[in-house]
Amino acid sequence: MSALLEPFRRPERVRRLTAELRQATTRPWTLMEVCGGQTHAILRHGLDRLLPDGLELIHGPGCPVCVTPAAAIDRALELSTSPGVILCSYGDMLRVPGSAGRSLLEQRAEGANVRVVASPLDVLAIARDHPGCRVVFFAVGFETTAPATALLAHQAWRSGLTNLALLVVHVRIPPAMEALLAAPEGRVQGFLAAGHVCAVMGSEELEPICQRFRVPVVVTGFEPVDLLEGVLCCVRQLERGESRVENAYTRASPPQGNAAARALIARVFEPVDQEWRGLGVFPASGLRLRPPYDALDADFMQASSPGIPAASLGSPSICISGRVLQGLDRPTDCPSFGVACTPERPLGAPMVSAEGACAAYWHYRQRDGSAAAGVP
C-alpha cells in the first residue's frame, strides 16, 4: 500500500477509534457525509458496519456528475454532434445519461469527437493543436475542480484562444447543505464536510450553517482513520449539545483554505442560482463565468441563465435518485436497484458515477452479495 495512505488505514487505529465511538455514543444519531468520495470509502472499507448501533451515516449529494442537470448533459450531447466540435470532459461525466437516456460515451461510439481529460489545462493543448475545431470543455464539479476550470478560463482568455468554449456546471456545497437542513423531511443532525472542498474554500463558509441550524459540521478526510475521526468529533459534539465547525482533517485542510484558488474562483466566476439534478434549484449554489470570461461561454450557455434552465429533470419517475441524494432513502430502498437499474443500464446518475451512492451500494453491497456478506 502507498506509504502516504498506510497510516490512515492501519487496522489498530481503526479498532481504537471504533472502540472510542462505542464509548462516546449514548443515543442514536444521524450524520451525513456530504461527499460521494467519502460515501464510497465508507462502503468500500465497510466502516458503517463498524459503528455502534443507532449511529447512522446517510449519504449526501456530493457527487458532481449526479447533480449535473440532464439539460446540461443534453446540451453537451448536442454540442458533441455539431460538426467540428471536440467535446472534452472528465471520464466520469461520459457515462451519465441525459434526458433521453443517452450518454456521451454512447455518442462517442457513434462517431462524436468526445475526449476524456484528466486536467482542464489539457483542453488548452487540444485547442491549440486543433485550430480548425471548436473545443468545448464540459466543466463540472464542486469547489474542488472549479479552480482548475477558472485557471483554464483565465489562460484561454489571456492567450486569446478563439476556438475554446466552456459549458460550466460548477456547483457550491454550502447552499446544498443549507437546503438539506431546511427541508421538512431532513434527518441530518450533523455533517461530515468534504475535506478537499474545505482545503480550497476553508471552513469559514460553514460557520453560518452551524449557527443557523445548530448542527455540528466536522471537516473530514477520506481514509478510514480520517472518516472515523470525523464521525467521533461529530458524535462528541452532539453528545455535549455543541454545534461548531471543527477540523478533523488539519493535515490537508487549513482553516483559511487555499487563498490563491479562492481568489481565482472569485475572479472568474460569480454565484448563480443552479438546478441540482433530482433536487431542484438552490439559490447561489452554482457558478457562472463573469465578465470578461463570459465571452468563453457566450454562444452556448445563454442568457436565460441563472445557470442551466431548470426545465427538464431527466430522471425517469421510477428513479428515486432525488431522495437518495438527500439522504432520505438508501439506494437499496429503491425497487429498481440492481434489477432495472445497474451501472451498465442506469436509470439515474447515482448508479453511474464513481462518486454516486447507488454505484457504491452496487459495488460493495449488492443484494445477492449482502446476504452472504456481514461482519463475521
Residues that bind other proteins (CB under 8 A): 1-5, 9, 11, 14-15, 37, 43-47, 49-50, 64-65, 90-95, 105-106, 108-110, 116-119, 122, 140-142, 144-145, 196, 224, 343-344, 353-355, 362-366, 368-376
Does residue 179 contact residue 185 with C-beta atoms inside 8 Å? no
CB of 191 to other proteins, least distance (A): 18
> In this complex, which beta carbon is closest to other proteins, that of residue 25 or of residue 107?
107
Between CA 138 and CA 149 the distance in angstroms is 10
CB of 34 to other proteins, least distance (A): 12
Neighbours of 76 (CB within 10 A): 27
> In this complex, which beta carbon is closest to other proteins, that of residue 187 or of residue 363?
363
> Coil, helix or strand for 52?
coil
Which amino acid type is present at position 139?
A: A
> In this complex, which beta carbon is closest to other proteins, that of residue 263 or of residue 373?
373
CB of 24 to other proteins, least distance (A): 19
Between CA 108 and CA 44 the distance in angstroms is 31
Between CA 53 and CA 333 the distance in angstroms is 20
CB of 357 to other proteins, least distance (A): 14
Between CA 168 and CA 158 the distance in angstroms is 19
> In this complex, which beta carbon is closest to other proteins, that of residue 237 or of residue 258?
258
> In this complex, which beta carbon is closest to other proteins, that of residue 64 or of residue 350?
64
Dihedrals phi, psi of 217, to nearest 5 degrees: -125, 120
Between CA 331 and CA 324 the distance in angstroms is 6
> In this complex, which beta carbon is closest to other proteins, that of residue 50 or of residue 70?
50
CB of 375 to other proteins, least distance (A): 6
Between CA 20 and CA 39 the distance in angstroms is 22
Does residue 205 contact residue 257 with C-beta atoms inside 8 Å? no
Does residue 126 contact residue 135 with C-beta atoms inside 8 Å? yes
CB of 304 to other proteins, least distance (A): 26
> In this complex, which beta carbon is closest to other proteins, that of residue 116 or of residue 181?
116
The DSSP result for 162-227, as a single string, is: SSEEEEEEEE-HHHHHHHHHHSTT---SEEEEEHHHHHHH-SGGGHHHHHHH---EEEE-SSHHHH
CB of 61 to other proteins, least distance (A): 14
Strands in 114-116's sheet, in edge-to-edge order, are: 114-116, 85-89, 134-141, 164-171, 280-289, 269-276
> In this complex, which beta carbon is closest to other proteins, that of residue 40 or of residue 189?
40
End-to-end CA distance of the chain: give it in Å, rounded. 24
CB of 117 to other proteins, least distance (A): 8
CB of 370 to other proteins, least distance (A): 8
> In this complex, which beta carbon is closest to other proteins, that of residue 126 or of residue 161?
126
Residue for grid cell 480520517: 226
3-state secondary structure string across 88-147: EECHHHHHCCCCCCCCHHHHHHCCCCEEECCCCHHHHHHHHHCCCCEEEEEEEECCCCHH
